[in-house]
Amino acid sequence: MLYLTLSVLLFGLSFVAGMMGLGVAFIATPTLGLFGFELKHVIMPWSLWLNGLTAISGAIAFARAKMVDWHTAIPLLSITTIAAPGGVWLLQFAPTNVVWWIYVGVLFSLAYRMAFPPKMDDSEAPIITDQTRAKSGVLSAAIGIFAGFLGVGPGFLLMPTLVMLGYTARLAAATNSVIVTLPSFSAFASHLANAQFDGLMLGLTSVTAVIGAWLGARFMAKRVKSLTLSRIFAAALVLLAIQRAAILLSA
């Protein structure tokens, strides 16, 4: 029964993640924790594996719909991947607890900006200049370092940043789905040596998560407008910020 429950649950979670251009780990990790799985050796590698699969699945769906800005996606994919180790190096110099609270503040700020975004017209493709792409490159480096310091994926910070720079939420989500693929698998590789997997559970949830992310991305491409997507993302940011604040306060 547990196999069926988690397979169906991760299908639904992956649908939501795929719609937002994210991997599923941000909601899979706390959800799997509710079922009593061990965090370090089971949940984290499992979630990161599913995160990479769902990110790729969503990215392929968005690419087929011709929604990805490749001139932004490829450079930012490289920049965030290269910058992340810088955040790991900074761990020795800054108190992690303080940075986590900064992260919570940033999430609430971005949630407000996403709830009341700039005007977005989905009927016309936004004009993304080289100057805008250069700004996104600089900001993605900072986000990559910040994410590497905290051990979180960059997607939750990158997507709203792209919206603030003038991308529609739909274009930002589709482009973001490509950017988060490589960091997901590089993080998974770091946990692989000590990972403990149930092969059948991993296989079943991998299949349902991939299908869910694919369908979520296709649903967004066909049915969800940028303003609606932006506000869904804002709600997700608030929930993530509340979850992290609760963890910090209970420590």
Q: pLDDT digit string (tens) for 10-66? A: 999 999 999 999 999 888 988 998 899 998 889 988 998 999 999 999 999 999 999
- Percent helix, strand, coil in the chain, to 5, is 80, 0, 20
Q: Would you give the end-to-end CA distance of the chain in angstroms?
A: 34
pLDDT of 210 strictly over 90: yes
**153, 20 in Cβ contact below 8 A?**
no
Provide the pLDDT for residue 84.
Answer: 80
Contacts of 98 (CB under 8 A, 6+ apart): none
pLDDT of 132 strictly over 90: yes
Please identify which residue in the block is written with the tokens 């946990």. 191
Residue 148: domain span: 2-250
- 109 or 182, greater pLDDT: 109
pLDDT of 189 strictly over 90: no
Q: Cα 66 to the chain's mean position, in Å? A: 20
CA pair distance 13, 210, nearest whole angstrom? 11
Q: How many CB atoms lie within 10 A of CB 26?
A: 22
Nearest to 130 by CA among 62, 69, 176: 69
Percentage of the chain beyond pLDDT 90 is 64
Predicted TM-score (pTM) of this structure: 0.89
- 148 or 81, greater pLDDT: 81
Mean pLDDT of all residues belonging to the chain: 91
Q: Cα 108 to the chain's mean position, in Å? A: 16
Number of domains in the chain: 1
Provide the pLDDT for residue 151.
Answer: 66
